[in-house]
Structures are given as C-alpha cells and as structure tokens.
Structure 1
Amino acid sequence: MEYKITAPFDKNTISKLRSGDMVYISGDIYTARDAAHKRMKETLDRGEALPMNIEGNVIYYMGPSPAREGRPIGSAGPTTASRMDKYAPELLDMGLSGMIGKGKRSKEVLDAIVRNKAIYLAAIGGAGALLSKAIVESEVVAYDDLGTEAIRKLRVENFPAIVVIDSEGNNLYETAIKEFCRE
C-alpha cells in the first residue's frame, strides 16, 4: 500500500502501516548520525534534557553534503542504521516514534520498536540527490560544531520511504528473503 503521512507521527498513523508499505512523509523530521547520538547519550547520562523534544518525533540517520545555491540542503542520503543501534532503544523508550535509515536493525532495536509501537523506515541508499528534492527547509538545531553530523530540523514534502519494521515487529528484510527464496 501507499500512504501520505505527516511527521511527527502519531500512534494511530503508525498502527496502520505495515512492513512493505510505501510512505510519502510531509512535515518536520530531525537528522542525527553517530556523533550526534553519542552526544545525546552523554547529555542523558548527565541527567540533562536533549536539545529537541524526542516525543513523537522522527530521526533520519543522515549527514548532508553542502547545499547548492538556492537549495536548503545538499545530497541527503541515508546512513547505515545499525551504527545507531546502541542508542536507539533508549530514545524509543523516551517516545521517539520513528527512524529512517538503511539496512538491518538489531534484535534490541526491533524489541524496542514493538514495545513502543514505533516504526523503522528505509530511504533509498545512493539516491541522496533525489531525496534532497523532498527537503524544503533545513535548520541546525544542535551540535553545530559537528558539521554534517549536527542535528538538523528538516521540513519535508512527500519524502519517500519504505516501512521496513512495523509497530508489530514485521520485518521486510526477513519476509522479503522468505518470499524470494520460496520454491
């Protein structure tokens, strides 16, 4: 199925999505990669508040290239999500509703997705220039010193992604392999 959805995601929207569905996201999402996740973890460990509200929000694992003239952002392709697996369960338990990246996730992340009725989406790797066309605004909101790994707030319109792990734990990477290997 195909859906047009709005970020931040609400639980009702998430509950309708199934592994394998195509979504087009409009609204506000945040970016964060390895260095930003490490810094967020250190912030939480000190008992301090994160630089943005996690509740209901979506994190896109992406570090953009510099913007061309007249554009809000450069190439904006996904980063391998498994590099954030050691941080994701805690953020999901704090209310993060979705993640966008590429590649498989650990069992701990899958369990946290199900426990929190969240979702994991994949963006198309290698298509960063195309994906950047769905980004209409970009603003650094934290950790500017990290350069491309700073946390950004993006305004997106019809950003394409595929539901990989739905709120019930169905995993497209596993079901697609089984479907492909059927005799």
Structure 2
Amino acid sequence: MEKKITAPVDKETAKSLKAGDYVYITGTIYTARDAAHKRMQEALQEGENLPVDIKGNVIYYMGPSPAREGRPIGSAGPTTASRMDRYTPELLDLGMGAMIGKGKRSKEVIDAIVRNGSVYFAAIGGAGALLSKCIKESTVVAYDDLGTEAIRELKVENFPVIVVIDSEGNNLYETALLKYKEI
C-alpha cells in the first residue's frame, strides 16, 4: 500500500504503517550516523540534553556527499542501520518516531520499536543521487566538526521509503523471504 505522511511522525501515524507499505515522507527529518550517535549517547550519560528534540522525529542514517552548485545536498543514500543498533533502543525510549536506513536490525532494536510504537524504514541503497532530489533544504544543526557525520536538519518532499519493521514487530525482511520460498 502507498501512503503519504508528514514528519515528525506521531504515534498514531507510526501505528498505521505496516511492513511492506511504500511511504512518501514530507516534512523535517534529521541525519545522524555512527559518530553523532556516539556523541548523543555520551551527552545523555553526562546528563546533558540532546542537540535536537528526538520526540517523534525521524533519524536518517546518512552522510551526504558534497552538494553540487545550486543544490542543497549531494548524494544522500542510506547507511547500514545495524551500526547504530547499540544506541537506538535508548533513543526510541526517549520518543524517537522512526528511523531510515538499510539492512537488518537487532532483536533489541526490534523490541524497542514494538515497545515504543515506532517504525523502521528502508531507503534504497545505491539511489543516493535520486533520493537527494527529494531533499529541499539541508542545514547542519549539531556536531559540525564531524563533517559528513554532523547532524543535519533536512526538509524533504515525497521522500520514498519502505516500512521494513512496523510498530507490531512485523519484519519485511523475514516475511518477504517466506513469500519467496512459497513461490
């Protein structure tokens, strides 16, 4: 099923999405990769606030290439999500609405998705140039010293993703394999 949603993502919207849905996101999302996640975890351990309000927000695991002239961002393809798995349950427990990446997630992340009524989206790897066309604005909002791994606020329009793990824990990577075996 195709759906259009607005980010940030509220619980009701997240719960309406099912594994396998094609979704187009419009609104504000944030980027964060390994180094930014590590810094966020360190901030939380020190009792500090996160540099962005995580509640309901979507984190896109992506580090862009440099922008060409006249464009807000360069190629913007997804990073392997499992690299953030050790940090993700805590962010979900703090209210993160959704994540965008590629690849499988750990049992701990899936449990946190279900516990918090969140969702995990996949963006198509290798399509970074095409995905960047859906990004209308890009602004570094934290950890500028990390370069490509800085946290960016992105304004997106009809950003295409697929629901891989829904709020009930249904996992497209598993169900698609079962369907394929039936064929």
How do 1:82-161 and structure 2 match up within 5 A? Answer: 82-161=82-161
Letter in 2 for 1:151: I
Name the structure 2 match of 1:60.
60
What SS is found at the alignment partner of 2:182? coil
- The Cα shift of 1:22 comes to 0.2
Name the structure 1 match of 2:169.
169
Gapped runs of 5+ residues in structure 1?
A: none
Gapped runs of 5+ residues in structure 2?
A: none
Deviations 1:56-100 (A, max 9, x none): 100000000000000000000000000000000000000001000
- The Cα shift of 1:11 comes to 1.1
- The Cα shift of 1:16 comes to 1.0
Letter in 1 for 2:40: M
Letter in 2 for 1:176: A
- The Cα shift of 1:28 comes to 0.1
Name the structure 2 match of 1:35.
35
Identity %: 77
- Count, aligned residues: 183
- The Cα shift of 1:15 comes to 1.2
Give the distance between the partners of 1:181 and 1:13, measured in 2 at CA. Answer: 31
What SS is found at the alignment partner of 1:181? helix
Give the distance between the partners of 1:10 and 1:145, measured in 2 at CA. Answer: 31
Name the structure 1 match of 2:4.
4
- The Cα shift of 1:182 comes to 1.5
TM-score, with normalisation over the residues of structure 2? 0.99
Letter in 2 for 1:23: V
Give the distance between the partners of 2:10 and 2:117, measured in 1 at CA. Answer: 10
Deviations 1:117-153 (A, max 9, x none): 0000000000000000000000000000000000000
Give the distance between the partners of 2:36 and 2:8, measured in 1 at CA. Answer: 20
Give the distance between the partners of 1:21 and 1:62, measured in 2 at CA. Answer: 21
RMSD of aligned residue pairs (Cα, Å): 0.5
- The Cα shift of 1:26 comes to 0.2
Give the distance between the partners of 2:17 and 2:46, measured in 1 at CA. Answer: 36
